[in-house]
Amino acid sequence: MSTRMRDGYETLNVRVAGNLGWAELNRPLVLNAMNLQCIRELQAAIEAFDADPEIRVVAIVGAGERAFTAGADITEIHDYGQLEMEHYNRHWLSLFETIEGIRKPVIAAAHGWATGGGTEMSLACDFVLCTEAARFGLAEINIGVIPGAGAAVRLTRWVGRLKAKEILMLGRTLTGPEAVSVGLANRCVATRDDLLAEVRALADELASKAPLALAAAKASVNIAAEADQRTGIEHELNEFLRLFATEDQKEGMRAFLEKRAPVYTGR
């Protein structure tokens, strides 16, 4: 499988391997903490992946052996006041909305520190894979603040009110296996090499599905997590009906009847 690097990024390593777009946070000396440039570059990379028809799946990973990302680069914001922080945090909000809003599956691959903004970002992704060495948590309470980019909302919808309050108000870290047990991660593997292989395997499995149906499933679940039941059901029905105007729907059902593997084109 050929790998193509993409230039133009200073804080990321961006590459495409087959149908998988990799965005690797590349600030290992500071645990891949994300400054404003990194936030903007990651959003731009994800938008570029979304616009590339050859890419079916996106993965976010951290460079090195120590961290996925430790979140915000505190050296950049420690002297900010309210107005500066609002401007800064709206970049985080925009990044997370982009991750949730693109129609392709996004995988967070967490090894090492994935606390603060790392956990917040994983909550915006569609799949979270991690290693036993991963450390999740929202420990902002320990430096006198709370998360400010939607983590309290997303976390509550993921794990429920009691567990969300425990994570937010005690500021403790969770291991990879603990993250799986409370619903913060899909699965946990032993090493970083295992993690990258697991991402590739999951991406291959996702890429074998009809891209438009994957997009419809993602959107339907995201709406269901936020809307009332009637609105969620109507959205799901509309997504379902739109798929019956696609070539992939015809191919999928024809392949089923002919007892062969379907060949999806995303049309």
Catalytic residues: 120, 140
Q: Which residue has the tokens 């193509």?
A: 4
Name the burial class of residue 45, with classes exposed (0-12), middle (13-18) and buried (19+) by CB atoms within 10 angstroms of its CB: buried
Beta strand pairing status for 135-137 and 113-115?
Answer: parallel
Is residue 218 within 8 Å of 206, Cβ to Cβ?
no
Beta strand pairing status for 135-137 and 57-62?
Answer: unpaired
Beta strand pairing status for 3-6 and 12-17?
Answer: antiparallel
DSSP 79: T
**C-alpha span between 137 and 143 (Å, rounded):** 13
Please provide the distance, in angstroms rounded to a whole number, between the alpha carbons at the two ends of the chain.
Answer: 24
